[in-house]
Amino acid sequence: MSIVRVTENPEGRTGSINSIGGNNWNRAFMVQTSVRTDDQVVVATAIDPGGTGGLSAVATLGTRIPRVRERHPTDRFATVRRITPTQRPDSGGTLWDVVVEYSSAAEAIEFGDDPLARPKVVTWGDVATTEEYRWDADGTEVKDTAGAPFEPGLVRDFTRPVATIQLNAATYSPREAHAFYDNVNSKSFGLGGVNIPPGWAKIKSWTGTPTKEADTSFWITRVVLHLKRLVDIAGLPKISGWDQRVESRGFSEIIRNGDDSEVVSIKRPVFKTNADGSLFKDPATGKTEQVGLEQAQDPTALDVSGKAIPGKPPHVLTFRPYPKSDFTGFAWTD
């Protein structure tokens, strides 16, 4: 199967507002396939392959056909009740019209009085923060004209996407929920129709409030996810947005002699100077004269083995400050 295009037709929208029985809304879509044998199931769940979704910092999905029980974008009480794909007879079997019907009345019939049958609600927001950065938006290392990093590092504003999921659950375990605080997703997962790639989402909180409606006791659970995109810098491997890179610099180095090794302080040469403090040069040879060694005053670049390499690019280390877990089994994911 192959979906070529999914577009919404704004002129195909209809609806009605009733004094009893709730509101009804219809949205119209057009789906184009490359295979005439694709059936209604393929079309009714189609996703446009070329889009990036409404949240550019998070989404990787294009325009898609809404799912059953998904809420209307502007009427939160109305949910999808029916999806009707119809093949256009004059299209050679590759064009379909899809009508998506929403209703707020049907929700009471569908879910009855059972609060545990209500669908999860996903809302999107953001939080403003700051972060230190060693590479700019073009992938250029942030250094001074002598090739050394700024100390302290430069700081930039950063707007982090936030997803909040509310879901009614029969049980809630604070111990289990708290065990996943600050965990990052190891695998991609769906959230409200948006695909979250591995390494993007971190669980900030997972709370539960005991509630009772009529004869049904349940928990209102609320999960808050902070999202951070992958870091892609030219010449370096991609890493999770929550992982951290740091240059290997220090005041000590490892000296190896065969199988033996020793950690020693990094020394820098001291050269003879003139009375005015300028560097002395031998009149005959024009060369400087080294008179000793002293402790390095600034962190020195180190290679992957821990050896000092003054004046050369240091080895870049990657650290994973947060544990990773598979989120796909959680009830609040798609």
- Average pLDDT value for the chain: 83
Q: In this structure, are 77 and 126 located in the same domain?
A: no
Indicate whether 46 and 81 sit together in one domain: yes
- Comparing 40-49, 58-67, 228-237, the range with the smallest average pLDDT is 228-237
Distance CA 33, CA 72 (A): 26
**Is 128 domain-assigned?**
yes
Phi, psi of 95, deg, nearest 5: -115, 135
- Give yes or no for residue 220 having a pLDDT over 90: yes
Query: In the prediction, which pLDDT does 92 show?
Result: 83
Are residues 151 and 50 part of one domain?
no
Count of structural domains within the chain = 3
Rounded to whole angstroms, the Cα distance separating 23 from 21 reads 7
Please report whether residue 239 resides in a domain.
no
Q: Say yes or no: 33 and 100 in one domain.
A: yes
Mean pLDDT of 262-272: 86
In a domain, 139, yes or no: yes
Burial of 282 (0-12, 13-18, 19+ CB in 10 A): exposed
Contact 226, 200 (CB under 8 A): no
The answer, yes or no, to whether residue 200 has pLDDT greater than 80, is yes
- Of the chain, the percentage scoring pLDDT greater than 90 comes to 30
Please provide the distance, in angstroms rounded to a whole number, between the alpha carbons at the two ends of the chain.
22
User: pTM of this prediction?
Assistant: 0.54
What counts of helices (H) and strands (E) characterise the chain? Answer: 3, 20
Does residue 106 sit in the same domain as residue 17? yes
* Residue 133 shares a structural domain with residue 222: yes
Both tokens of 227, joined, read 């999202």
Name the residue range of residue 200's domain. Answer: 121-230+321-325
The whole-angstrom distance between residue 148's C-alpha and the CA centroid of its chain comes to 30
> Does any domain span residue 334?
no
